[in-house]
Structure 1
Amino acid sequence: MTLTEMGKQAQVAEKQLSQLTTLKKNQVLRTMAASIRKQTAEILAANAVDMKDAEKNGVKKVMLDRLKLDESRVENMASGLEHVAELPDPIGEVVKGWTTEAGLAISQVRVPLGVIGMIYEARPNVTVDAAGLTFKAGNAVILRGGKEAIHSNQVLVNALRAALQAENVAIDSVQLITDTSHETATALMQLTTYLDVLIPRGSAQFIQMVVQKATVPVIETGAGNCHVYVDAGADLQMATDIIVNAKTQRPSVCNAMEKLVVNEAVAEKLLPMVAKALKPYNVDLRGDRQAQAILPTITLASAADWGTEYNDYIMAIKVVANLDEAIAHINRYNTKHSEAIITNDYAHSEQFTKEVDAAVVYVNASTRFTDGYEFGFGAEIGISTQKLHARGPMGLNEITSTKYVVRGNGQVRK
């Protein structure tokens, strides 16, 4: 099937989706969840093939974690669909309304975006998250995952489409492109006649490639060169615990911490604590000369380190004189994803949250919470790092648009 044919079918499906009641959409989502659970064995078998191929092709162990599925992760995908079913339906919501001097009653009403294209790397959970969210928000979706996850994605989409068929809802509400060639990916990026928006997920290099090649409007999502800044007077044990979690809990994902910024007033005490706590995880520590003077065994950071998203057990350390220097350093090198300050100073926390340019800023918490599920969205279609339309974890509201409905009784403009 050609992309043009897929686009036409998606537009037809989207027309039906826009007419579905909330009750029906929620019923379909629960049927999707049941279908995923029913096919757990098939999903895991397909994923095992993808894992074997990825290992054979030299994919790094830490990146294999993004690809790997187990029973718990499959269950999380199914329960995520059920969570989305429980969320309020944004479609038809009146965002605001007012009456003009001319007596016109104006309402701003939430509506679907239309047909969404998703292009992403080896994250099979994205397949289910994207399908569930787009469906609840009345959008059709065309998915193009990476070749590393093709077998997993095919079985997952088959399960979702089986649920749509069982519920007598347009099966082409969810479609998967099985041709993983670069040429097909580029064609999807330029399918302007049929796609209303394109959402890429992957590395910074991948996302920028999509932005440069696409003629369809793009919502950029998150490469994450995320920082944790430890302020003077911070609770150092709390800081250490947060750093260990943010760096090691799942280092391959975009909300993992990559850089530690430390106020020089606490550096001599904090850095040995952090190094000791990270030692069981074999984290490769790098740092500037001040950090290296405190931790002589670490590698001297290069200029390239500060802007690098590692997605690995690597962390670079920058020692700064004060909060202003910390903010300047973070704003220079971050990817506008997630940044954290550990502090007991309320004024400093307020300055940090106001001046750091990022989609999500934290005070005394791990960056790992930047996630649609953790934010209560059921799932996420991505984490937007741009400023237009949506920013941060994108849930149901972020994949809708609005229209103005104007009611009058014969008014004409003078």
Structure 2
Amino acid sequence: MISSTALTLSNLRPIPSPTTASLPESKSKPSSPSTSESSSPPKPQARRFKPSPQLNRWSRARTIRSGRKLDRLIQNPSVEMTSSNSSPVGNNDGSELHLLSPSKGSRSNEDDLKDLTAGKSIYMVSDGTGWTAEHSVNAALGQFDYCLVDRVCPVNTHLFSGIDDVERLMEIIKQAAKEGALVVYTLADPSIAETARQACELWGVTSTDILGPITEAIASHLGVSPSGLSRWAPGRKNSLDEEYFRRIEAIEFTIKQDDGALPGNLHKADVVLAGVSRTGKTPLSIYLSQKGYKVANVPIVKNIGLPRSLFEVDPEKVFALTINPVVLQTIRRARAKTLGFDDEMRSNYSEMDYVKEELEFASKIFQQNPIWPVIEVTGKAIEETAAVVLRLYHDRKNRCSMPRISKRY
């Protein structure tokens, strides 16, 4: 039950005007020539630290993420909240929540005015961890990577997680109205989501509900009503369910099986990765383990035999990784420098002749085991390679006629 709440401006700090702001004593009261000549030599003043604009932006971003000091006018100095024209928003319990309407007010200081060119803001509001909102926004921003960051359309994202209180939600939306930000929210409680929608509409804030439409579609498809609880709500019993502990077990298994350790346990793995050094086996293994898959990786080194268990496990769960030799040489050179290898060791590890020979050695092993799919990882992100591995894994496991990654709930 959400009680009626009226938000006021009693806790807002007044923003000093540039014309009335007090000046340092040395500037506001200039000394006369006679006084300066007779006085003793001035003491050297301590140098004032002037943070860079980038540090200022980071500091403000941390403040916004923490949910504190949201009343500061950041990017839209022509807008402030007044209580003279408040409008009620109805709650499900029949009560009213009075929202303050934005109106034009005084301008802020010069630092805030400079933020007008710092990029537009996107507020991501969630009653849980914010994972869904954050990844949805990041996926959408991928369509604009040609103009983001130091180009023509920089964007600042701010994540607010664990927002299950209406009053705090109103503070965030109020700040979004001041800053001219886009609000993207995933709120499981229909009443809170509706309150957010009405508040954004009243204050002229552009908003998008990510969770609501798909929840309604699934509810209509299943013919049942949603619970309205966040995934991590205390009242839910499945927040630490069997799948959660299975993922933890998969992560622990994967860490123990890294870089060819404990080859006798390869038969317990869901996925086995094989490839030469620096083909991304370890980060790919960790990424897959966080999705609940037990992964083992086996390094292929020139003229060193592979463990017998690699050829005894189910070949359909073994995946071979390969990479372009030029890219591999660049990665190995950087790695060798980081590890402090001497010139002799570096030449054996990162020189082109040795790199090509090792890739050819691995290629012969892959040809002897044609059922192992060979995945090219050059220029691919870990997520891309993982999607290929999982698609092939599920195709083999479920014998699907169309490529898919299936999962039962």
TM norm structure 1:
0.24
Is the radius of gyration larger for structure 1 or structure 2?
Answer: 2
Relative contact order, CA 8 A, sep 6+: which one is greater? 1
